[in-house]
Amino acid sequence: MTERRGHLWWQRGVVYHIYPRSFADASGDGVGDLEGIASRLDYLEWLGVDAIWLSPFYPSPMADFGYDISDHCAVDPLFGTLADFDELVAETHRRGMRLIVDYVPNHTSDEHPWFLESRASRESPRRDWYIWADPKPDGSPPNNWRSVFGGSAWEWDERTGQYYYHAFHRKQPDLNWRNPAVREAMHGVMRFWLERGVDGFRVDALRHLVKDEKLRDNPPNPAYEEGRPSYEAHLPVYTTDRPEVHRMISGMRRVLDGCGGERVMIGELYLPFDRLVLYYGEGGRGVHLPTNMHLITTPWSAPSLAALISEYEAALPPHGWPNWVLSNHDNPRVATRVGPERARAAAVLLLTLRGTPTVYYGDEIGMVDGKIPPERLRDPAGSQNPRLSRDPARTPMQWDASPNAGFCPPDAEPWLPLSPDRRHRNVAAQRESRGSLLCLYRRLLRLRRSEPALSVGSYEPLEAGGSLLAYARSHAGRRLLVALNLGGAPEPLPPVLRGRVLLSTSPGQEGGDLHPLARLGPGEALVVAP
């Protein structure tokens, strides 16, 4: 892969993803807020991240915890005020970091003024701001489209005698992006936040943005297995990844680019690589970073990951910048998926691959999915099947060993239960231990910043064998070697892995030369300068 010059901040940097409800509660109501986030900016600066990405904090009835927005240009009182947001932007920038916010263009809340007007009558000026359709002759929904949250994606409206479409919760009607008035209104939302100083957007549910105009049935999924979410019973060829979506993205890019500065647009996309890379757009005029989620779903083995990385690198267009994600608010945490003992190697992988990495809050201390009693489940996606709930990956951040882990005052009840391991797995305890996972993340982030080969250098796979994954990163004549043992037994290092150890997951090895007969233990990883 050709080296690049003049890299932008989002190509060099590391993004830190915050779920606002769960990061830090300053008001004492058991729910995280903007003031709480601002109070922890010194920590994020110490950690060494370059940008913060916030999940929604907008006014919402909270049917889907903020992704059902009733006002795109305000702050929900639960999280604070616009003044709190402006202060957060200013304080983030003062520390040399950037701020990215969630942009949710696919749908609104059913309590949004636009939808209330649309729903008022078939003659409403905003009727076609949403997707309405007549029932079949027998009164059933217009087609077989399913909601991601389960059941039909069509909700009957008794007043006007039509169904409206919702890709997610029934209280999240989808906007009709084929309507120019909708596009202009949502572009106005972008301008509002750009003028308040945000450095970019993570665009939610991007592949859902345009639906088939003829409302054709989705075909059956021949690979569907019983027990999987009902949404997967059909292939969503008429409800997602439609060709028209790229024209909508181009319009968003024009708004973003028109505001000047090094703004970034990140697209939430769960797609195979051949489809994913199309979202970079012709000549790079699409999404800057179509989100690569494949580390979340790929088996944790050296052959699987080596093949994944090579496939991704080969699929990238010349103008495409890679990106990697290990965890997010919709999927089990990495320490839960691969085991806490392998979380160190996972950190090294994420932060030494070519491209922009995103760290999910709490992964830096090895947080695992929380145990949520049935009566405390909050996620609507898990209402039909609690095993599919996203709540376990959204438990409050563990700051210290106090009763509520420093997330909220001791006399408040956190909105989700805290993990029982908070007494030893927390920021305060790990910050004092050089051998901790937290300090490993900090060392990795400092090494990325000091070694351009790790942030913007080329990628070259190396022959390793067994359970070892190895590759080289090179930039401006500087070559670094990375090796990870993803198996359960020690592995001898290949002859190419020789030199001075810049970073190791095992304390005490850094600064010395590798022994010719060195072996890498299970879950260990290192970075070497030949």
Instruction: For residue 227, name the pLDDT band (cuts at 50, 70, 90).
Output: confident
Domain 9-106+183-441: give its CATH superfamily. Answer: Glycosidases (3.20.20.80)
pLDDT in tens, 114-140: 999 999 999 999 999 999 999 999 999
pLDDT in tens, 266-281: 999 999 999 999 999 9
- Do strands 525-529 and 500-504 pair parallel, antiparallel, or not at all (unpaired)? antiparallel
Give me the residue spans of the domains in the chain. Answer: 9-106+183-441, 458-529
Closest CA to 419 of 22, 21, 37: 22
Contacts of 275 by beta carbon, 8 Å cutoff, 6+ apart? 241
Q: Of 204, 313, 363, 364, which one is the catalytic site residue?
A: 204
pLDDT of residue 504 exceeding 50, the answer is yes
The yes-or-no answer on residue 268 being catalytic is yes
**Looking at residue 283, what is its pLDDT?**
92
pLDDT of residue 41 exceeding 90, the answer is yes
Stated as kind and residue range, the H or E segment containing 469 is: strand 468-475
Q: Which amino acid is at 469?
A: L
CA distance 512 to 523: 20
Residue 273 burial (CB count, 10 A):
17
Say which residue the tokens 């345009």 belong to: 210
pLDDT in tens, 295-335: 999 999 999 999 999 999 999 999 999 999 999 999 999 99
Q: Do 103 and 204 meet the contact criterion of CB atoms below 8 Å apart?
A: yes
Q: Of 268, 363, 391, 451, which one is the catalytic site residue?
A: 268
Residue 121 burial (CB count, 10 A):
11
The tokens describing 219, both together, are 């075909």
Residue 453 CA: distances (Å) to CA of 5, 206, 214, 224, 317: 12, 32, 50, 43, 21
pLDDT in tens, 172-218: 999 999 999 999 999 999 999 999 999 999 999 999 999 999 999 99
- Do strands 162-165 and 154-157 pair parallel, antiparallel, or not at all (unpaired)? antiparallel
Fold match between domain 9-106+183-441 and domain 458-529? no
Q: Do 17 and 361 meet the contact criterion of CB atoms below 8 Å apart?
A: yes
DSSP structural state of residue 417: P
Instruction: For residue 382, name the pLDDT band (cuts at 50, 70, 90).
Output: confident
**Looking at residue 386, what is its pLDDT?**
84
CA distance 275 to 269: 10
DSSP structural state of residue 135: P
The tokens describing 24, both together, are 């830090």
The yes-or-no answer on residue 68 being catalytic is no
> What CATH class has 458-529?
mainly beta
Instruction: For residue 5, name the pLDDT band (cuts at 50, 70, 90).
Output: low
Instruction: For residue 1, name the pLDDT band (cuts at 50, 70, 90).
Output: very low
The tokens describing 220, both together, are 């059956």
**Looking at residue 388, what is its pLDDT?**
87
Percentage of the chain surpassing pLDDT 90? 92
